[in-house]
């Protein structure tokens, strides 16, 4: 039961920065399931782990990009999403938004502000989405725990095989009283759940 409760906090960041000090470090392979390879690594100076999922999706680059990173395309987002407020949106360039999530009892609900930058390499067509916390924009609200430490990175690479090679990396400190050891036990479910849902949606 306790794992199901805290698993919540590793699922909500499937929404579309990456610190310079984690680039280039080695990832540890954990498992492969449903065509999705899962990795983790320890964050520098932190007992919490970041995660990575890698998979190929049989769909056009256009469909993949339209689903991932479009803040107006919400129907695949986490069902525990209680509130979303779009603060800024520029198609295929940048989005900023505020989110509130219902947490399983007895855990306090969480909220966060996101700043997502989208870029596309003009030569390779590779699209990258970098997300980081957007601070000092929405005042903290009573009865909610504010998420202030996280990063996330999507990479979508078109291939000549009719598939898009997709990588998802991320980290979140759930704040509050969530024990680190529980977070680290369930963190590998994050990319697996998110990427499995995207594959099922786009490949059906």
Output the domain CATH number for residue 46: 3.30.530.20
The CA–CA distances, whole Å, from 10 to 6, 86, 116, 148 equal 7, 22, 19, 14
Q: Can you give the pLDDT at residue 92?
A: 87
Structure confidence by residue, pLDDT tens digits, 20-29: 434 445 899 9
Backbone phi, psi, residue 52, to 5°? -145, 135
Q: Can you give the pLDDT at residue 42?
A: 83
Name the residue range of residue 191's domain: 2-203
Higher pLDDT, 64 or 19: 64
Portion of the chain with pLDDT greater than 90, in percent: 40
User: Tokens 């984690």 map to which residue?
Assistant: 22
pLDDT bucket at 182, cuts 50 / 70 / 90: low
pTM score of the predicted model: 0.82
CB 31 within 8 A of CB 188: yes
Q: Can you give the pLDDT at residue 25?
A: 57
- What's the CA angle centered on 173, arms 66 and 7, to 5 degrees? 75
Higher pLDDT, 5 or 74: 74
pLDDT bucket at 126, cuts 50 / 70 / 90: very high
DSSP lists the bridge partners of residue 118 as 129
Nearest to 100 by CA among 91, 92, 112, 108: 112
The domain total for the chain is 1
Q: Identify whether 106 is preceded by a cis peptide bond (ω within 30 of 0).
A: yes
Dihedral of the alpha carbons of 132, 90, 127, 187, in degrees to the nearest 10: 30
């Amino acid at each position: 039961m306790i794992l199901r409760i805290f698993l919540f906090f590793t699922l909500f960041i499937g929404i579309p920065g990456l610190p310079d000090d984690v680039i280039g470090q080695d990832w540890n392979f954990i498992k492969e399931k449903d065509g999705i390879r899962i990795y983790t690594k320890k964050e520098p100076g932190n007992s919490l782990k970041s995660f990575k999922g890698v998979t190929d999706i049989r769909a056009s680059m256009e469909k993949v990009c339209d689903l991932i990173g479009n803040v107006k395309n919400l129907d695949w987002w986490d069902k525990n999403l209680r509130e979303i407020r779009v603060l800024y949106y520029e198609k295929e360039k940048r989005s900023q938004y505020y989110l509130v999530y219902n947490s399983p009892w007895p855990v306090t609900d969480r909220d966060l502000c996101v700043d997502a930058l989208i870029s596309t390499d003009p030569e390779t067509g590779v699209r990258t989405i970098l997300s980081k916390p957007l601070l000092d924009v929405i005042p903290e609200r009573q009865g909610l725990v504010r998420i202030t430490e996280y990063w996330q990175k999507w990479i979508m690479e078109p291939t000549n095989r009719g598939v898009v090679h997709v990588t998802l990396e991320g980290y979140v400190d759930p704040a509050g009283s969530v024990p680190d050891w529980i977070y680290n036990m369930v963190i590998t479910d994050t990319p697996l759940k998110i990427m499995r849902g995207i594959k099922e949606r786009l490949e059906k």
